[in-house]
A and B are shown apart, each in its own frame.
Chain A
């Protein structure tokens, strides 16, 4: 979706952290991306390189950690892990699932100098 906007969010957080903690360079930045976050990883990586120019994270390595998609099954009332949004419940094969996790888009940590 809006990977450029997300990278602008990342840049804002990097700049705030650089001011608060006095570092000049981010070596590695790790983000956690949920399965259902709607983030296209290749687009995020491309936008990251472009948007970070001129800020402490220019040239930083972007590492993406996948978080699983979780949903509540309305048929068996269990919380289950699913690969794709439209998958049936792996326990009871029901088709009514409400996502309850997997929409995360979070900066986990940064390695800085």
Chain B
């Protein structure tokens, strides 16, 4: 039995005193008394060191999803934005333009199958996840959806997250990249108001640029604010409605998918 904290029943595997936390492998330190002096307690209380991320379960599911995608050489994009930025319209136009590239779509919304229905009309495979009261997709939901989609090798997987600029930033789904869609009607300071999402994103798509002249939108100010919260973010300007700028977005997708597929080959 350890004479410092009175613990027994588990093997430390190293000689030490107890002035440190146990390792990142989740090893636990527990005893009859208190392991430290920083928590007040009664005599029979014991301290269990956890050092576990609250989202550890989600992160484990995300790692599982990532393994599946890597083995398939498939590239997954987690599309995040506020409601109404044009995610589904962009997807429909993207699917039509991608032609024979294998792809599938996971749609997240609180209610309705409207978005998955729109995607299926293009002929693409789509699964709707309704989160009910939930404000974000999590990795467990996405793993289930991936099981049903039967993804082919070298596929693009588009995950359209719940329209919400807050919560989806914190939940890893196992994707290769978060892509934030920002429409030019939302206000140039949107990235400053919701920095976490734009910091987590690899690419920002500035959508509805055809409307910019009608709403006095300053596209350079959008880009400057995006780079202020994420100096590494890539930015593309396009209009899913007119198709302007779509070629850059398609080239970006093909390049990322190509890198991933070559890695898996």
Contact = CB atoms under 8 A, between A and B. Distances in A.
Interface stretch (B55-63, B91-99, B107-115, B236-244): B55-63
Q: In which size bucket is the chain B interface? A: 35 or more
B167 A2 contact: yes
8 contacts: A1-B135, A12-B57, A31-B54, A106-B51, A108-B51, A109-B47, A109-B48, A111-B47
Interface stretch (B148-156, B176-184, B204-212, B222-230): B222-230
Q: In which size bucket is the chain A interface? A: 35 or more
Interface in A1-34: 1-2, 5-6, 9-10, 12-13, 17, 20-21, 23, 27-28, 30-31
Nearest to B39: A111
A106 B39 contact: no
B28 interface: yes
Contact of B50 (A2, A36, A103, A108): A108
B100 interface: no
A9 B57 contact: yes
A6 to B, nearest CB: 5
Interface string A95-111: 11111000111111111
Contacts of A113: 42, 44-46
Contacts of B50: 13, 17, 107-110
A107 B199 CA distance: 24
Contact of A21 (B30, B169, B170, B228): B30
A28 B58 CA distance: 24
Give the residue among B55, B134, B170, B228 with the most A Cβ atoms within 10 A. B170
A13 B56 contact: yes
Nearest to B30: A21
B53 interface: yes
Contact of A85 (B135, B227, B229): B229
A74 interface: yes
B153 to A, nearest CB: 34
Interface string B170-192: 10000000000000000000001
Contacts of B134: 5
Contact of B228 (A31, A96, A103, A108): A96
A13 B196 CA distance: 26
A91 B15 CA distance: 43
Interface string A29-54: 01100001110000000000000000
Given A2-B170, A36-B196, A86-B229, A105 B54 contact: yes
B165 to A, nearest CB: 10
B72 interface: no
A110 to B, nearest CB: 5
Interface string B5-24: 00000000000000000000
Contacts of A95: 228
A106 B52 contact: yes
B232 interface: yes
A80 interface: no
B39 A109 contact: yes
Contacts of A6: 54-55
Interface string B138-158: 100000000000000000000
A1 B44 contact: no
Contact of A2 (B53, B56, B135, B192): B135
B136 interface: yes
Given A86-B229, A112-B48, A105 B41 contact: no
Given A13-B52, A30-B39, A112-B46, A98 B232 contact: yes
